[in-house]
Amino acid sequence: MASIAVIGAGYVGLTSAAGLASLGHDVICADIDQARIDQLNAGSIPIHELGMDELVNEQLRAGRLRFVLGAAQASQHCDFHFLCLPTPPGADGAADLQFLLTAVSQIAGVLPDDSILVNKSTVPVGTADLVMAAVNRDDIRVVSNPEFLREGTAIEDFLHPDRVVVGGDDGTAVARVAALYESLDTIVMTTDAKSSELIKYASNAYLATKLTFVNEMAEVCEQLGADIDDVMLGMGQDRRIGTSYLRPGPGWGGSCFPKDTEALVHIAAQADVEFEFLRSVISLNHRHIKRVADKAVALLNGDVSGKRIAVWGLTFKAGTDDLRDSPSLAVSQLLQTAGANLCAYDPAVSAAPAALPDIELASDPIDAARGAVCLLVLTEWDDFAKVDLSAVKAAMALPNVVDARNMLDRAELDRLGFTHVGVGR
């Protein structure tokens, strides 16, 4: 059993702390928010994530997990120090490392001898060297261990990962961090620090590219009268391609893809590589977000001003309460800017998002549709596919639907007399 400090009790930090404790390690998780620490020590989880409540409370009861205020208070007792701090994009798209380096400066003087710092945050190539310089101690080693957590399935992803990547320039330190995961049934890949740091960016950029490719193909399907679902099903059967991330939608967003693709473009530019391909992926994603809003405008004869529009889903994906860079919010903002009056329902959102202060929130999907002249399905919550469409039609002023997730039963929509459009159909 290892003694581990996790610095940061946000999404990645909380998942990592609970996950490492479940592997049998003694974990102290630190944050700068006293209210959040008190909440977590009481077993109350501040984020919407499947299985998180159960896992955190299980580890609290087992005595393998506790939460403290301040990075120094956690790190003075531990041998491994996982840095799980936010790295938001700066004005130029580069990752901002101020939170990470501030935390490092807070713990540098209290780290036990021969400690290992582990970069869990998504950080630019060369950050391991920056952290080493910030610590300025010959006995400390820095290792990169990027996270590959999907919101909504983070616990499952931590406990049953496709791979664990550990990178560093000190073989002993790399081996010690890799050993923390030895009870997992997965591949533990070891490499150098720079390659490890780049693997996370490359992975997210490729997944974003797949999603944009599908939306590009969806537009082709619409023009040619083909069905994107069948095209992607046939394409995905090729083992070289696979079926994951081959579903069309209203564009991609969230806490990772937008900032990581922009950061990788910046990293490449610093190395005198333009990376025009990835620049195009980012640009096309913005276009596909606008295309969804344009579908609603077209259904309403080119004018949404003063018209009531229902929105199902505000989070960037189902299974989370995360609104960061949500394509649903982006689509809604476009419609609101055009003068539409929006009413939305999302099972994980209880207050109007800051990006949409004038939006009305409904208590359920039918309530959101009441009096609307158009309904947009923007987040793929499973319950939306089960809503009684006859009740939806009865509630609406006009039965227009933009199904940006292709979730609703097209035959039933036709039978009930809806005017509807999807993506790639």
Cβ within 8 Å of residue 332, ≥6 positions away: 311, 314, 342, 344, 356, 359, 378
CA 139/CA 127 separation, integer angstroms? 18
Write the DSSP string, 351-374.
S--TT-TTPEEPSSHHHHHTT-SE
> C-alpha 200: how far from its chain's center?
13
Q: Is 28:66 a contact under the CB 8 Å cutoff?
A: yes
**How many C-beta atoms lie closer than 10 Å to residue 411's C-beta?**
8
Q: Does 343 qualify as catalytic in the annotation? A: no
Q: Is 167:197 a contact under the CB 8 Å cutoff?
A: yes
Q: Is 327:252 a contact under the CB 8 Å cutoff?
A: yes
Both structure tokens of 419:
């005017």
Residue among 84, 221, 256, 343 flagged as catalytic: 256
Both structure tokens of 81:
């120090």
Alpha helix stretches (DSSP H) within 23-97: 34-41, 52-62, 71-75
Question: Dihedral sign, CA of 225, 227, 232, 233?
Answer: negative
* Eight-class DSSP state of 388: -
* Eight-class DSSP state of 183: T
The residues annotated as belonging to the active site are: 256
